[in-house]
Chains A and B, each alone.
Chain A
Amino acid sequence: MFRKMSANGKPLLKKVTAKSDMAVSAIALLALISVSPFWALNQKAAPANVTADLPAGPMQAKATTACLECHEARIILQQRLSRAAWTKEVDKMTKWGAVVDGADRDALIDYLSSNFSPDKPAYEPQRTTDKNGSGRTSK
Chain B
Amino acid sequence: MILRSFRFVDVESPVEYFNSWLTPVPHFFVRNHMHEPSELDASGWRLSLGGEVEKPLTLSLAELSKMETHSIVNTLECAGNGRSLQRPQVPGIQWGKGAVGTARFSGPRLGDVLQRAGVKPTGKHVMFRGLDEVPGKVPPFIRSIPIEKALDADTLIATHMNGSPLTRHHGFPARALVPGWIGAASCKWLAEIKVLDAEFVGNFMSPGYRFPNQPAKPGDAVKPEDTHPLTALSVKSVISGPSDDATLKAGKVAVHGAAWAGEADIVKVEISADGGATWDIAKLGHDQAHYAWRLWSYDWKPAKAGDYTIQSRATDSQGRTQPATPVWNPSGYLYNAIDLVNIHVS
Q: Which of A54-62, A72-80, A102-110 contacts B (4 or more CB under 8 A)?
A: A72-80
Say whether chain B's binding surface is mostly helix, strand, loop, or mixed: loop
Given contacts A80-B94, A118-B89, 14 further A-B contacts (CB under 8 A): A17-B136, A21-B136, A36-B168, A36-B169, A69-B136, A74-B4, A75-B10, A79-B94, A88-B91, A97-B136, A118-B88, A123-B94, A127-B2, A127-B3
Q: Which residues of A contact B93 (CB under 8 A)?
A: 75, 78
Contact indicator B89/A97 (Cβ below 8 Å): no
- Say if the beta carbon of B84 comes within 8 Å of chain A: yes
Q: Which of B34-42, B114-122, B235-243, B273-281 contacts A (4 or more CB under 8 A)?
A: B34-42
Q: Which residues of B contact A29 (CB under 8 A)?
A: 6-7
- Within the complex, which residue of A27, A80, A132 is in contact with B89, where a contact is CB–CB below 8 Å? A80
Contact indicator A71/B7 (Cβ below 8 Å): yes
Query: A47 to chain B: closest CB distance in Å?
Result: 14
- For the complex, what is the distance from the CA of A127 to the CA of B121, rounded to whole Å? 50
- Within the complex, which residue of B1, B2, B6 is in contact with A51, where a contact is CB–CB below 8 Å? B6
Report the nearest A residue to B28, measured CB to CB.
A133
A residues contacting the other copy or chain, number (CB 8 A): 44
Question: Per-position contact with B for A19-47: 1 when CB-CB < 8 Å, else 0?
Answer: 00100110111011001111100000000
Q: Which residues of A contact B10 (CB under 8 A)?
A: 75
- Say if the beta carbon of B253 comes within 8 Å of chain A: no
Q: Give chain B's interface residues, CB within 8 Å of chain A.
A: 1-12, 14, 17, 26-27, 35-38, 84, 88-91, 93-94, 133, 135-139, 167-169
Q: Which residues of A contact B12 (CB under 8 A)?
A: 125
- Say if the beta carbon of A126 comes within 8 Å of chain B: yes
- Within the complex, which residue of A35, A79, A127 is in contact with B91, where a contact is CB–CB below 8 Å? A79
- For the complex, what is the distance from the CA of A25 to the CA of B134, rounded to whole Å? 10
Q: Which residues of B contact A128 (CB under 8 A)?
A: 1, 3
Contact indicator B5/A71 (Cβ below 8 Å): yes
- For the complex, what is the distance from the CA of A48 to the CA of B17, rounded to whole Å? 26
- Within the complex, which residue of A24, A70, A71, A80 is in contact with B38, where a contact is CB–CB below 8 Å? A24
Q: Which residues of A contact B27 (CB under 8 A)?
A: 131, 133
User: A79-B91, A97-B135, A97-B138 given as contacts; is B14 within 8 A of A127 (CB)?
Assistant: yes
Query: A49 to chain B: closest CB distance in Å?
Result: 8
Contact indicator B89/A71 (Cβ below 8 Å): no
- For the complex, what is the distance from the CA of A78 to the CA of B169, rounded to whole Å? 22
- For the complex, what is the distance from the CA of A128 to the CA of B30, rounded to whole Å? 14
Contact indicator B138/A78 (Cβ below 8 Å): no
Contact indicator A28/B37 (Cβ below 8 Å): yes
Q: Give chain A's interface residues, CB within 8 Å of chain B.
A: 17, 21, 24-25, 27-29, 31-32, 35-39, 50-51, 69-72, 74-75, 78-82, 85, 88-89, 95-98, 118, 122-123, 125-128, 131-133
Contact indicator A96/B138 (Cβ below 8 Å): yes
- For the complex, what is the distance from the CA of A36 to the CA of B137, rounded to whole Å? 28
Contact indicator B136/A70 (Cβ below 8 Å): yes
Contact indicator B7/A25 (Cβ below 8 Å): yes
- For the complex, what is the distance from the CA of A83 to the CA of B107, rounded to whole Å? 46
Q: Which residues of A contact B9 (CB under 8 A)?
A: 32
Report the nearest A residue to B17, measured CB to CB.
A131
- Within the complex, which residue of A32, A70, A72, A85 is in contact with B90, where a contact is CB–CB below 8 Å? A85
Q: Which residues of A contact B1 (CB under 8 A)?
A: 38, 127-128, 133
Contact indicator A69/B135 (Cβ below 8 Å): yes
Q: Which residues of B contact A125 (CB under 8 A)?
A: 2-4, 12
- For the complex, what is the distance from the CA of A122 to the CA of B2, rounded to whole Å? 14
- For the complex, what is the distance from the CA of A83 to the CA of B308, rounded to whole Å? 37
Query: A52 to chain B: closest CB distance in Å?
Result: 8
Contact indicator A97/B36 (Cβ below 8 Å): no
Contact indicator B4/A78 (Cβ below 8 Å): yes
User: A24-B38, A72-B5 given as contacts; is B137 within 8 A of A95 (CB)?
Assistant: yes
- For the complex, what is the distance from the CA of A27 to the CA of B35, rounded to whole Å? 10
Contact indicator A32/B2 (Cβ below 8 Å): no
Query: A28 to chain B: closest CB distance in Å?
Result: 4
Report the nearest B residue to A36, measured CB to CB.
B169
User: A70-B138, A118-B88, A128-B1 given as contacts; is B11 within 8 A of A38 (CB)?
Assistant: yes
Q: Which residues of A contact B139 (CB under 8 A)?
A: 96
Q: Which residues of A contact B168 (CB under 8 A)?
A: 31-32, 35-36
